[in-house]
Amino acid sequence: MSLVICLIKGVFMSDSLNKKIKKSRVRRKSYCLDLRIQSPTSLGYMHIEGIDTAPALVRLAKIKGLDVISVTDFFSARFVDELKSAAEGSKVEVLPGVMLRCVIPNCEDVVVACFFKEEATTEYISELLFKHLAIPKSVEGSSSFVFRKDFKEVISLVEEFGGVMIPSRMDKTPYRRDALKSLVEDYGFRAFDLAYFSDSEKYFKETWPEIEFHLFNFSNAKALAQVGSRNSKVMMAKPGFRGLAGLVGRV
């Protein structure tokens, strides 16, 4: 074998080895998430007289060992800026979020949580909601309103705004559970927040054994005491939006 060939092989082997080394250096850590919490904006019981909710929520998250939290109110991002401000200087990561109730052909009760990059503000998400999606401002904070825009258009607009979506508690009733097949096969979702984790996890594994899902179990807290009562521990390279987006992207 000539010296030139040996040198060329050495370069390729070196490049390959360097790539493997770099890949091995991407270490994933375990993070504890509760990404479905309601604020006083919603019809919950988060507000307590004499207590500033946002700082209390951040302190409670820290006490309960939560690394990442999100307040996801229905059709409202009014609490986003307040919570982000309260978390400044804290080790608790806050993901800006919002909850939508939408329709697909076989289900008129499709609940999805939408999450955005850390720098997203109340104004930014509100622009998506009330200008681009054209949701009536009068339903801000309403959990009963059903948004009837074509679901594929909703997904497209949320993703254009840099967001990711996780269908939430679609296993809670038989009617909603029937929509899971369409959400997986027609809309490409691979991450779900489940109401009945053990039973539904088995359902996913048996129905789609060849697909890798990321299944969560968030608290749906409507009061401070409920925050972190259910949470999900996941392995991510980053603790915030970038880490979550790497887990929950659609196909």
pLDDT along the chain (251 residues), means of 10: 43 44 62 93 57 88 96 96 95 96 97 98 98 97 95 98 98 96 98 96 97 96 92 89 93 90
Residues in Cβ contact with 166 at an 8 Å cutoff, skipping those fewer than 6 apart: 35, 112, 113, 115, 189, 191, 192, 193, 216, 248
DSSP, residue by residue, 163-209: -EEEEBSTTSSHHHHTTHHHHHHTT---EEE-SSHHHHHHHHHHH-T
In a domain, 72, yes or no: yes
Which DSSP category does 127 fall into?
A: I
In a domain, 99, yes or no: yes
In a domain, 168, yes or no: yes
Q: What percent of the chain has pLDDT over 90?
A: 79
In a domain, 18, yes or no: no
Query: How many domains, in total, are found in the chain?
Result: 1
> How confident is the model at residue 237, as a pLDDT?
84
In a domain, 17, yes or no: no
The reported pTM is 0.87
Interatomic CA distance for residues 64 and 56, integer angstroms: 12
Interatomic CA distance for residues 221 and 204, integer angstroms: 25
The tens digit of pLDDT for each residue in 46-98 reads: 655 556 889 999 999 999 999 999 999 999 999 999 999 999 999 999 999 99
pLDDT, averaged across the chain: 88
In a domain, 116, yes or no: yes
In a domain, 97, yes or no: yes
> How confident is the model at residue 46, as a pLDDT?
60
Residue with tokens 């990442």: 68
Interatomic CA distance for residues 248 and 33, integer angstroms: 14
In a domain, 139, yes or no: yes
- Residue 10, token pair as written in the block: 């050495």
User: Is 154 in contact with 107 (CB distance < 8 Å)?
Assistant: no
The tens digit of pLDDT for each residue in 92-112 reads: 999 999 999 999 999 999 999
The CATH number given to whatever domain includes residue 46 is 3.20.20.140
Instruction: Note down the domain range covering 34.
Output: 30-248
What CA dihedral angle connects 167, 67, 156 and 217, to 10 degrees? -10
| Residue 202 CA neighbour count, 13 Å, CB half | 3
